[in-house]
Amino acid sequence: MLRCLQKIRFLCKLGMVLLSAAVLASPVYAKGAAQTQNYEVLGSAPILNANVENARQKAIQNSLVSAVDLAAADILPLQTRVNNFKLLNDLLYIKTDDFVQGYRVLTEAGFEGTYRVLVEATVSIERLRSALHQAGVTAPPKALPRVLLLISEKRLEDLDAHGWWQQPDAAREFAAEEAMRQNLLQKGFAVVSHDTLPDDDSTEPFPAQALLSDSQAVALGRRFEAQIVIVGSATAGIAPNTMGADIKTYRADIDARALRVDTAEEIGGITRDAVAVNADHVAGTQQALSAAGMLAANELATMIMSKWEEKAKTPTAIVIRLAGAGNLANFINFRRVLRGLNGVKQIQVSDLTADTATIDVAYDADAHQLANALMRQTFDHFGLRINNVSDDTVDISLQPETTVEHHP
C-alpha cells in the first residue's frame, strides 16, 4: 500500500509535465488513405483503493474506445452517429479489440486521484467500414453546397432593375430567382433563404445597386454562410410576335454566373432566353422570367455539381493560430471538438509554445465557415474568442468561462 501511494505522489508531481511534453511533441495525425490509421488519444480512469495498475488498464481501454470513435467520425457524419448511437455502442465501442490492431502508450501520469494515458492506437479502417456496412450504417450522399441566389430583375413596367438585397424587407416577388430556387431544391441543393437576415451583428449595409460585382456577391455569400453564390440579372420585355389585338409574346433574358464563396473563383456562367405568350402583360413577363430562370438553373446546377465533386477531393488548407493552449485540458478538448466537426478531414499541430499552438486543418469549406462552425460549439470550462478570420487563417483565443467575450 505504501509503495502504491508513493508511486501516486511521484506521478502527481511529474506526470502532467511528461504528458504535456508528449502532446507537444506528437500531435494527432493520420497516415494517408491506408487500410489502417493511427490516432493519438487520451484515456483516463479514477484510481480506486490505491490500485494504480487497475486504473491504468481502464484508462488504456477508454483511450481505445476514443480511437475507434475518432475512426468512426472519419467515416460517418455527426448526425448519422447520433441517430445510430445505441447500435454503434454495441457494434464498436464495447468491441474495440475487433478494430484496434495495436497500440502503444506514449506517456502516462497520475494526477489528483485520476490516472491518464496518452496512447497511439492503430485502427483498421477496412474492418470498421465492413462492420458498419453489414449493420446498415452508411453515410448519406455527400451534401451539395449551400447556394445564395442574387438575381436582379427588370420587368416590363420597371424603369430600373431591382434586387432583393436593395430592400430586404420588401414583399416583391422575383420570378426568375424563385424558379431557380425551386429547380435547385429539387436537385438536392440547400438554397439559402434571404427572408431571414444573417445574425452576424455586421453594420455593413447591403449593396445599393441591383447589378453586383463578384466581390460584392461573395461578401453577401459569406454573410449568409453560403458556399456558392449565383449572381446575375434577368430582364423581361415584349417580343415582336403578336396574335390579334390582345395576345402578345414576352421574352426574358437572363445572364448569370456561379462563384465559389471561399475563393471567389467563377465556376461557370450562362446567358439564356425564354418566351411566353399571354394576353396579360404581368402574367406573360412572369412566365417568361420563370422559364428563363429554369433554363439557367439547369445548366448552372450541372456546372456546380461537377466542380463541387472536384473540390470535395481537395480540402482547403486552413491554419488556426490558437492562444491559450497552455491549459492542457482545454487544448485537448478543443482539438477533440475540432476534429469532430463535419468537414474536417485532418488536423496537424505544426508549432507549439508555452501558451500558443498552430494547427493545420484540412477542411471541406473555407476559413470563414470553419470559424462559424466552431462558434456554434460548446466547451466545458472555456469559450472561444475569434480574433480574426482571413481566407486561410483563423486566430482564436481559448478563454476561461468568466472572461469569455463574443466577437463576431
CA dist 193 to 146, 185, 209, 290, Å? 10, 12, 20, 18
**Nearest of 360, 369, 142 to residue 263 by alpha carbon:** 369
Other beta carbons less than 10 A from residue 354's beta carbon = 8
Is residue 307 located within the same domain as residue 365?
A: no
Is residue 369 located within the same domain as residue 232?
A: no
Over residues 195-222, mean pLDDT: 83
Q: Which of 291, 313, 335 is the last residue of a domain?
A: 313
Residues 365-402 pLDDT 10s: 888 889 988 988 888 888 899 999 988 999 999 988 76
Can you tell me the distance from the alpha carbon of 375 to that of 394, in angstroms, rounded to the nearest whole number? 12
Residue 54: its pLDDT value, please?
A: 93
CB contact at 8 A, 53 and 7? no
Reply yes or no on whether the pLDDT at 19 is more than 70.
no
Is residue 172 located within the same domain as residue 97?
A: no
Reply yes or no on whether the pLDDT at 271 is more than 80.
yes
Angle among Cα 31, 35, 41 to the nearest 5 degrees reads 50
Q: Which of 140, 171, 204 is the last residue of a domain?
A: 140
Average predicted confidence (pLDDT) for the chain: 82
Give the residue numbers spanning the domain of 32.
Answer: 1-140
Is residue 228 located within the same domain as residue 106?
A: no
User: What CATH number does residue 9 fall under?
Assistant: 3.30.1660.40
Q: Which of 140, 155, 172 is the last residue of a domain?
A: 140
CB contact at 8 A, 224 and 148? yes
Over residues 173-188, mean pLDDT: 89
What's the total number of domains in the chain? 3
- Beta 266-278 vs 247-260: how paired, if at all? antiparallel
Residues 124-163 pLDDT 10s: 988 988 888 888 777 655 668 889 999 999 988 888 999 9
Residues 2-14 pLDDT 10s: 344 444 343 443 3
Residue type, 72: A
pTM: 0.47
Can you tell me the distance from the alpha carbon of 400 to that of 408, in angstroms, rounded to the nearest whole number? 18
Burial class (CB in 10 A: 0-12, 13-18, 19+), 336: middle
Residues 299-352 pLDDT 10s: 998 888 877 766 655 788 999 999 998 888 888 889 989 988 888 888 988 888
Can you tell me the distance from the alpha carbon of 402 to that of 380, in angstroms, rounded to the nearest whole number? 12
Over residues 207-231, mean pLDDT: 92
Can you tell me the distance from the alpha carbon of 340 to that of 70, in angstroms, rounded to the nearest whole number? 8
Residue 139: its pLDDT value, please?
A: 63
Residue 278: its pLDDT value, please?
A: 86
DSSP reduced 3-state for 307? helix
Is residue 168 located within the same domain as residue 253?
A: yes
Reply yes or no on whether the pLDDT at 42 is more than 80.
yes
Reply yes or no on whether the pLDDT at 243 is more than 70.
no
CB contact at 8 A, 252 and 236? yes
Residue 326: its pLDDT value, please?
A: 86
Is residue 284 located within the same domain as residue 366?
A: no
Can you tell me the distance from the alpha carbon of 28 to that of 121, in angstroms, rounded to the nearest whole number? 11
Reply yes or no on whether the pLDDT at 31 is more than 50.
no
Can you tell me the distance from the alpha carbon of 73 to that of 344, in angstroms, rounded to the nearest whole number? 10
User: What CATH number does residue 348 fall under?
Assistant: 3.30.70
Residue 244: its pLDDT value, please?
A: 57
Can you tell me the distance from the alpha carbon of 226 to that of 147, in angstroms, rounded to the nearest whole number? 6
CB contact at 8 A, 45 and 115? yes
